[in-house]
């Protein structure tokens, strides 16, 4: 039986692809009404008439648009070192209970900044004749649908290319 994770309001997330893939393939949960802030950041740059070839990760985007608290970078680096295989970590850290307090901090701090990030990026596209908001909503939905494909690849350099929308 497939469940649908749906809400009347848009659910903000940064780079919905891996989360949508995991929820769908592991738990048969389909995400709906997502608003991918990574795509909104691409739209903000394009609304400023910049040529955008690549997407930005959450860390870079937070540093570029917000003034994160002083300890933000340290918490980010400590958390990443716990799960990133190329830094000596393992993704299994997310399966351990109770969760490591450093992982909790890592996750919580990024989520706490998403609403501020959304407001700043929305302000950058406001008034643009290109209807960026609607285009981001549609492209976010496309990303969710693509993550359900059996051909979806969650890793690789192709993931860094900014989509056309």
Give the residue from 50, 44, 41, 45 showing the smallest Cα distance to 15: 41
For the chain, give every domain's residue range: 3-160
Q: How confident is the model at residue 36 (pLDDT cuts 50, 70, 90)?
A: very high
Looking at residue 154, what is its pLDDT? Answer: 84
* Segment of 1-5, 53-57, 146-150 carrying the highest mean pLDDT: 53-57
pLDDT band at 76; cut points 50, 70, 90: very high
Which residues, in sequence order, are CB contacts of 35 under 8 Å at separation 6+?
Answer: 10, 11, 12, 13, 118, 136, 137, 140
pTM strictly above 0.85: yes
Residue position matching structure tokens 């608003």: 35
């Amino acid at each position: 039986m497939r469940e649908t994770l749906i809400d009347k309001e848009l659910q903000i997330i940064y780079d919905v692809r891996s989360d949508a893939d995991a929820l769908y393939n592991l738990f048969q949960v389909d995400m709906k009404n997502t608003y991918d802030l990574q795509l909104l950041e691409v739209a903000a740059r394009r609304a400023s008439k910049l040529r955008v070839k690549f997407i930005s990760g959450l860390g870079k985007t937070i540093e570029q648009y917000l003034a994160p608290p002083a300890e933000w970078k340290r918490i980010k680096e400590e958390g990443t070192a716990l799960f990133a295989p190329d830094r000596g970590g393992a993704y299994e850290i997310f399966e351990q209970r109770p969760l490591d307090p450093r992982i909790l901090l890592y996750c919580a701090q990024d989520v706490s900044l998403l609403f501020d990030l959304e407001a700043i990026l929305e302000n950058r596209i406001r008034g643009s004749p290109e209807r960026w908001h609607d285009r981001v909503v549609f492209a976010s939905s496309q990303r969710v649908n693509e993550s359900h494909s059996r051909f979806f690849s969650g890793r690789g350099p192709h993931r860094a290319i900014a989509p056309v929308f």
